[in-house]
Amino acid sequence: MNERKLKILAAVVEEYVRTGEPVGSKAIASLPDIGVSAATVRNDMALLEQLGFLEQPHTSAGRVPTISGYRLYIEELMRPPTLPDEERERLDDMLGAQGPLTEELLIQNATSALAELTQCAAVVSDFSPKFSIISKVKVIPAGKRVYVVLLITSGGAIKNKACRLEFDLTNEQLGKFSEYLSKNLEGVSVADLSDERMENLTAAMSAYMMTMAPLVQGICELSRDLRQHALLVKGEKNLFSCEDLDKMEVVRFIEHKDELVRLLDDSFSGIRVMFGEGNDSFVIGNSSMIVSKYRKGEQNVGSLGVIGPMRLDYAKVIPYLEYFSQKITDLISEDAEAPPKQDDPT
Amino acid sequence: MNERKLKILAAVVEEYVRTGEPVGSKAIASLPDIGVSAATVRNDMALLEQLGFLEQPHTSAGRVPTISGYRLYIEELMRPPTLPDEERERLDDMLGAQGPLTEELLIQNATSALAELTQCAAVVSDFSPKFSIISKVKVIPAGKRVYVVLLITSGGAIKNKACRLEFDLTNEQLGKFSEYLSKNLEGVSVADLSDERMENLTAAMSAYMMTMAPLVQGICELSRDLRQHALLVKGEKNLFSCEDLDKMEVVRFIEHKDELVRLLDDSFSGIRVMFGEGNDSFVIGNSSMIVSKYRKGEQNVGSLGVIGPMRLDYAKVIPYLEYFSQKITDLISEDAEAPPKQDDPT
DNA sequence: TGTTAGCACTCTATCTCTTTGAGTGCTAAG
DNA sequence: CTTAGCACTCAAAGAGATAGAGTGCTAACA
């Protein structure tokens, strides 16, 4: 396995990614920095095929990379460019002009931007809210027997829900209840809002004010929302204009959110590339998914991924993914270091 | 144009919708309630073709309905079943177990349900919030120099937005500002919150407290959101598993939201069926879109639609659409008659 | 020993030609 | 007015035939 053979493998991958056609020895030989004849390339390619890095659709066709071939290319051969400064600025702009206000928005922007830049589907499984702190709980009358419960976290997540009560509350009841909630929930980490704890709260509350039950119920739901992994998919449409992928498989896969979340949450660090082979749980044939984790402080709090054809410009996509996940990590970790807290003078 | 010819036209439409193949005279003649020979059917079909209701893909193929054919079928010939009671109950369930709390949720549920029931894409252009009343405006401190502005309408719409200020507000400032907002905005119809009026408010405010500008800005944005037509599309994926439609055209069309909104908002009453011919602005070939308006009181406040192949079971889909839009009209008009208003005792 | 030119071989994609059969329109009889 | 019969049409499917891209192998060469 000499240097030239690796160079040829890389060339085959890049050429195949570019054209979508099986690539022949002649095409490789004519590339500028190869400098050997087609016959020599042929010999090397035969060897690369024996080693399982290339394969032929049929005898008289050119070669196509196998999954091992892609893997070797990605791990050893490709030379992803370092992003030039103006590119970084452009990416920062896409994340939100002057730094978006909430984590949620930041992550949404990152997903849209990735989908746009790569012309693939971008996915994110985010559970960063779980690692924020409840900074505010409010109950706001919003109509006849209708009250809105509102939860705000240090990460900038704002959740609300309308609840219907059996009776209207007096100002005094509402005031007491608000105070009780603030005392018991503000400053508490979302991760600590276990179902148990919420049940205890419910019990304590409803013992002394049955009427409030739906409100506590509402808060429980909001806190459950916050603790759950939110899945966001953007740019699915890009996959539908992609020749290589079976539309039906794409639809089935994206429908099956839990499967997708499971794959995204699979714990590892750095970047991971998965290939869809049809037998695995990642079932889109000829596709690949690249996933990168982002953190809040030292804690993994989400996965950002790109789903596209296996024939993908990895050297272009992976730097984007790395940049975004690093940037998200930086921005939300910053927030975490300075958890805000303040009185409500209303 | 006798009765039998109409019967044959209806049979051709229904048979073509069922099978997707051009239908021949023999197939029609063998249907139970036709009772004439294939030759007779052939003669009638030739006439129907002359009149422009049927066409042949090529000389030796069966017949396919033209757009006029579909139109005649929909307007005169089809006999949509009246929904049986248990079906109505099922539909009511799909709209939200015991009547959802907010108009937004109701409309979301209706859209999902339509997509599910018809196996097509369901769309809705909703501007009902425009015809509600602001029932609550709140400013809530949510972190260091971050404040959440919150708008609640009588229709149950809850909008929020985080804003960053240059300085933190004192309790007194916040209190005064809240009071000012409540006085000026609560009880006002969303439709009356013109950009002008908001600008006046901004001017009045910022004259006496520059610091607040981003908050007023935030409220402006929220009110603009409320006044705008919200577009919601569900079940696009169903269109991708549909043989008759060009995937690229589907992607392009759904991307182009403004075009879609324009088509949906086109004013008419009752139900309208549009056919995608490629020349029109509704550009998905071989598709059709059925749109039904819903109202709040006497006012049209939104359009509910189904996009599917032209080869669609209209007799099944249209009753669903009618039922849902009537139901939405009933539910949101109810709300409108009893606009809630209440003090905030916090 | 590694590289290259040459050549026979393989196999798909493409084209043409033929065949098949569903469906028609027309005619003449009922 | 309806129907059986029949010749006709035309797309779809199948069968060769052809072209050409790419291969593996061999033998010569550095």
> Is strand C less than 7 A from the beta carbon of B65?
no
Task: State residue B135's pLDDT score.
Answer: 92
- What burial letters (b/e) apply to B74-107, b meaning 16+ CB within 10 Å? beebbeeeeeeeeeeeebeebbbeeebbbbbbbb
Q: What is the per-residue pLDDT for B144?
A: 83
- Fill in the DSSP letter of residue A23: B
In this structure, what token pair is assigned to residue B128?
Answer: 């009902």
Euclidean distance between CA atoms A122 and A158, whole angstroms = 24
Question: What gap in Å lies between CA B113 and CA B94, rounded to an integer?
Answer: 6
Average pLDDT over residues B216-227: 90
**Structure tokens belonging to residue B75:** 């307007």
Bridge partners of A288? A275, A308
Nearest nucleotide by C1' position to the B23 CA atom: C23
Q: Is-contact B238 B120, C-beta < 8 A? A: yes
Range B135-159 average pLDDT: 91
pLDDT value, residue B195: 78
Regions in chain A scoring below 50 on pLDDT: 338-346
Q: How does pLDDT run across A254-304, given as a tens digit for each residue?
A: 888 888 999 999 878 889 999 987 656 778 989 999 999 999 999 999 999
Collect all residues of chain B within an 8 Å Cβ-Cβ radius of residue A250.
240
The whole-angstrom separation of Cα B271 and Cα B251 is 25
Tell me which residue in B160, B240, B346 faces A240 most closely, judged by beta carbons.
Answer: B240
Total-model pTM: 0.87
Nearest nucleic acid nucleotide to B35, CA to C1' distance:
D2
Do the Cβ atoms of B144 and A338 come within 8 Å? Answer: yes
Q: What is the pLDDT of residues A145-154, one digit of tens each?
A: 889 999 999 8
Distances (CA, A) of B285 to A65, B12, B245: 38, 21, 7
**To 10 degrees, the CA torsion angle through A174, A176, A177, A183?**
140
* CA atom of B336 to C1′ atom of D8, Å: 68
Residue B338 has pLDDT above 50, yes or no: no
How many DSSP H helices and E strands does chain B contain?
13, 10
pLDDT value of position A278 = 62
Six-digit token string for B45: 């079909």
Is residue B294 within 8 A of residue B321, CB to CB? The reply is no
Residue type, B82: T
The number of C-beta contacts closer than 8 angstroms across A and B is 129
Which residue is listed with tokens 């051969």? A77
Q: What is the reported pLDDT for A345? A: 43
- CB of A44 closer than 8 Å to CB of A28: no
Q: What is the DSSP letter of B228?
A: S
What residue type is assigned to position A95 of the chain? Answer: L
In Å, how far are A254, A328, B67, B98 from B242, measured between CA atoms? 17, 39, 19, 34
Instruction: State the Cα–Cα distance between residues B162 and B165, nearest whole angstrom.
Output: 10
Q: Say if residue B280's pLDDT is above 70.
A: no
Nearest CA in chain A to B343: A141
Neighbours of A234 (CB within 10 A): 19
Chain B span 9-48 residues with beta carbon within 7 Å of strand C = 21-27, 38-39, 42, 45-46
Query: For B168-187, what is the mean pLDDT?
Result: 90
Rounded Cα gap, residues A170 and B274, in angstroms: 53
Lowest mean pLDDT among A299-308, B106-115, B227-236, B252-261: B252-261
From the CA of B76 to the C1' of D10: give the distance in Å: 34
Over residues B287-312, the pLDDT tens digits come to 999 999 999 999 999 999 999 999 99
CB atoms within 10 A of CB A246: 18
User: Is B60 exposed, middle or buried (CB count within 10 Å of its CB: 0-12, 13-18, 19+)?
Assistant: exposed
Between CA B80 and C1' D1 the distance (Å) reads 33
B309 touches strand C (CB under 7 A): no
Percent of chain B scoring above 70 in pLDDT: 93
> Sign of dihedral through CA atoms B218, B220, B221, B226?
positive
Integer Cα distance of A50 and A285 in angstroms: 23
Q: How confident is the model at residue B343 (pLDDT cuts 50, 70, 90)?
A: very low
Query: Which of chain B's residues have a Cβ under 8 Å away from the Cβ of A160?
Result: 150, 158, 160
Q: Is the CB of B308 under 7 A from strand C?
A: no
Q: What is the mean pLDDT of chain B?
A: 89
Of the candidates B151, B204, B217, the one whose C-alpha atom is nearest the C-alpha of residue B182 is: B151
